[in-house]
A and B are shown apart, each in its own frame.
Chain A
Amino acid sequence: MDWLEITVDSLRGSVSLVAAAYALSSIGLNLQFGSAGLLNFGHVASMLVGAYGMAIVVDLGGPLLLGVLVGVAAAALLGWLWGITTLRLRADYLTVVTLSFGEILRFLIRSNWANPFTKSVYGIQRFADEFYDWNPIPDGDYGFEIASNPIRFSERQLWVMSVCWGLAILATLLFRSLMRSPWGRTVKAVREDEDAARSLGKNVYLYKQQALIIGSVIGALGGILLGIETQNVYPDFYIPLVTINAFAIVILGGAGSVWGPMAASIIYWFLFEWLDGVINSAMTEGYFGLLFEPADSGRIRTVLLGIGLVCLMVFRPQGLFGRRREVILGGT
């Protein structure tokens, strides 16, 4: 097993577009869950409507920018829908409804009935050429080597990555200014105790609704960039597992923390790639004997993710950087 190669590959993965897109998307979830305390189990739906909104518009012949706008608008609409269906009810309905919304959307775009727009299971491809036309980075291979293990990106990859990390930083700054403003103070108060906030004249419903919408829009941007990178959107990517990845990132970084999602996304995808590398090479070297097959490596990783999330919640709910007493998940 070549540990160095695995580690360098994982380093590459930790700054790749996937990490950037998840960082961006998790900032949206962090606003909903970390700041406003809304347990949104359908975050993947924001990414879905963002990516599909864009892809469908381009596929029908529209310009990419219009597609992005449509995707973002659709995500805002989705956030609003979550709100009107659940916010006036008990808080725990939100988990069930958001999870269901995500799955309904996935079933819908997957169906034959939506085929003219979504191409059902086959998905939509090659809708982001325009984005690469804007690429100012000259052709070439960029990067360096660590002990002859390369960390290199093509000009295309570098371009999407820069845009996405740039957006993630912008979103983080936006998050920070929002949370430092009186608006953020009120949102936190709503999370801590709705009745107390109400007794001081705060329209709790409005604040939650706003947090849902903004979070959904930021989440959609992550989905859009992920779509642009692969130039491929298909329904079965948008399974609830994506939401759980985002939750793992938010909790790892400390729910509600400003730079948490970005830092945690880097760490998370490093671990992800590292586990992948280790499991795969253990497999090719036959350490597992007959127990596992090549196809199992992704599944083993997901099992570990599940265990990891449970352990994180049990042993370190404040995340990597938080302080124990600041745990927002603890209160009953």
Chain B
Amino acid sequence: MAEALKSVPGRPGVAKPSPILVVEGVRRAFGGLVAVDVEHLEIQRSSVTALIGPNGSGKTTLFNLLCGFDSVDEGEWRIFPGSRGGGVQPGPEAEESKLGEVRLTGRQSYEIARLGMVRTFQLTKSLSLLSVLDNVLLAAKDQVGERLSRSLGRRWREIDERNRSAAMEILERFGLAHMSDEYAGALSGGQRKLLELARAVMARPSLLLLDEPLAGVNPALVESILEHLLKFPAEGMTVLFVEHSMDMVMSISDWVVCLEEGSVIAEGPPEVVASDPLVVDAYLGREE
């Protein structure tokens, strides 16, 4: 569906043909400092969208707000999970999602994740005393054994077996299969980033929010992971990722959104945004 973006003009807040996420008037201030103030933002379904902006421009804060890890001062946002992907775990929320649109404003972070919007963290959060495999298994959806009432039964074992092979496959993709029995705490910083990514993928979200997923990952591996990333849309996962390296942004994204001081100052196809004077001024200019 990324082709659909070709006809969209590149200006802040522009409407997309088939948005998966719509953000309206979301604002968050810390004391006097306005960290996020997004008037309108739509993310196109099945695209790879990059979110860029100088340090402190509010990217992480926006992720926190959207995923329910921080509460907004005002504004609302909705997700259109559509038929693919669905939720992490079907719950009462998933019923609602069949209607096509779910308001996320004010929901708990775990509900938002179940509705299909899963994020990773800029400061990696690995579960140190769980094995690498368990880390990934944790994210698997529909595990009956996760309910206390079913945890002593037998049924979950079958499902767990299936999840296990799926998890191993994902670990293979991210080059962690040989470490599957290690404690996650024993991994290096870069490996933890990968593990977190693997975990998020295991949850099969419809919208994946990645906060600098490749920071600190070795360049050889970056190539292969970018390839995987590019395949995500075809697997039903829309990707919104934060990245500082313009090369990477240019090479894989269909669309780029640039934040400065919490507001969207530009959006459009990568080449267009990269040469936008405002962006050069705000971002690239300041970075150098």
Contacts and interface: CB of A to CB of B under 8 A. Distances in A.
Interface string A186-206: 101101110111111111100
Contacts, number: 107
Contact of B145 (A182, A189, A191, A331): A182
Given A201-B88, A202-B110, A183 B147 contact: yes
Contacts of B113: 198-201
Contacts of B67: 199
Interface in A79-131: none
Interface string B132-155: 001001110101111110011000
Counting chain A CB atoms within 10 Å of each CB, which of B111, B151, B185 scores highest? Answer: B151
A198 B109 contact: yes
B51 to A, nearest CB: 17
Contacts of A199: 67, 69, 109, 113, 118-121, 125, 200
B27 interface: no
Contact of B69 (A184, A191, A195): A195
A181 B156 contact: yes
Contact of A185 (B68, B138, B200): B138
B261 to A, nearest CB: 26
B110 A198 contact: yes
B118 A182 contact: no
B151 A181 contact: yes
B183 interface: yes
A197 B186 CA distance: 19
A244 B154 CA distance: 37
A293 interface: no
B193 interface: no
A28 to B, nearest CB: 15
Size class of the contact patch on chain B: 35 or more
B160 interface: yes
A185 B148 CA distance: 11
A185 B129 CA distance: 10
A196 B122 CA distance: 12
B121 A195 contact: yes
B157 to A, nearest CB: 9
Nearest to B119: A199
Given A199-B118, A200-B88, A188 B127 contact: yes
Contacts of B148: 183, 210, 214
Interface residues of A, number: 30
Contacts of B128: 192, 331
Interface string B55-88: 0000000000001110000000000000000011
Contacts of B196: 196
A76 to B, nearest CB: 13
B61 to A, nearest CB: 15
Nearest to B64: A195
A325 interface: yes
Nearest to B118: A199
A27 to B, nearest CB: 16
A31 B183 CA distance: 21
A238 to B, nearest CB: 28
Contact of B130 (A181, A185, A201): A185
B114 A201 contact: yes
B203 interface: yes
A326 interface: yes
B44 interface: no
B151 A178 contact: yes
A284 interface: no
Contacts of B89: 201
26 contacts: A174-B152, A177-B151, A178-B151, A181-B151, A182-B144, A183-B148, A183-B151, A186-B138, A188-B127, A189-B138, A193-B127, A196-B196, A197-B127, A198-B108, A199-B119, A200-B88, A200-B139, A200-B200, A200-B203, A201-B88, A201-B118, A203-B108, A210-B148, A325-B183, A326-B183, A328-B129
